[in-house]
Amino acid sequence: MILEENKKYYRVGKIVNTHGLRGDLKIISKSDFPEVRFKKGSKLYVSLENENKYEAMIVENARPHKEVFIVKFRDFNDINEVEKLKNHIIYVSEDQLVELPDEEYYFHEIIGCKVFSEENEELGEITDILTTGANDVWVAKRKKGQDLLVPIIDDVLLSVDVKEKKVIIRLMEGML
């Protein structure tokens, strides 16, 4: 197993328990691409006690099971070897990110963006993203007052520039 430091990593899941006696793990996926993340031969990284160090692991096999994925990593063959991995976070490195279509963004690209009205008034900074089912809602922390909830719909979201970390929205009645 390889220890790798000083790369950017992005969370794709969490090991929540063991499964059976042969080293399988239950992982809750936080990825929009679980079929890519957990396919045989994929390299995933597990955070160690030191948040800046990650242990590379290779998926030997995986399958969906209810709300989790049952994953077996190469070189882990019994429950005693994987017990220590419970409650650890699973990551991928930046070079493993799937390229998204135009006008789709990773959460880490949106968090930290400044939100402006179409009149160029700064409204806040995006600190969280809520996935509601119908559409996402971006939460912008305002300098004063309550957080601004920005529904990600065509009538509201006018432009996103992740390089400049700038989002322009049309304010609808009741948003402020």
In this prediction the pTM is: 0.72
Q: Do residues 19 and 90 both lie within one domain?
A: yes
Q: Do residues 71 and 118 both lie within one domain?
A: no
Residue 87 lies in a domain: yes
Q: Do residues 121 and 165 both lie within one domain?
A: yes
Residue 101 lies in a domain: no
Q: How many domains does the chain have?
A: 2
If phi over 0 gives left and psi between -120 and 50 gives alpha, with beta otherwise, what is residue 15?
Answer: beta
Give pairs for 134-141: CB < 8 Å, separation 24+: 138/110, 138/167, 140/115
In tens, the pLDDT along 95-119 reads: 899 889 988 898 889 999 999 999 9
Give the residue from 37, 22, 27 showing the smallest Cα distance to 76. 22
* Structure confidence at residue 174 as a pLDDT band (50, 70, 90): confident
Q: Do residues 72 and 145 both lie within one domain?
A: no
Range of the domain at 66: 3-94
Q: Given this model, what pLDDT does residue 50 score? A: 62
Task: Give the CATH number for residue 112.
Answer: 2.30.30.240
Q: Do residues 132 and 69 both lie within one domain?
A: no
Q: Do residues 80 and 145 both lie within one domain?
A: no
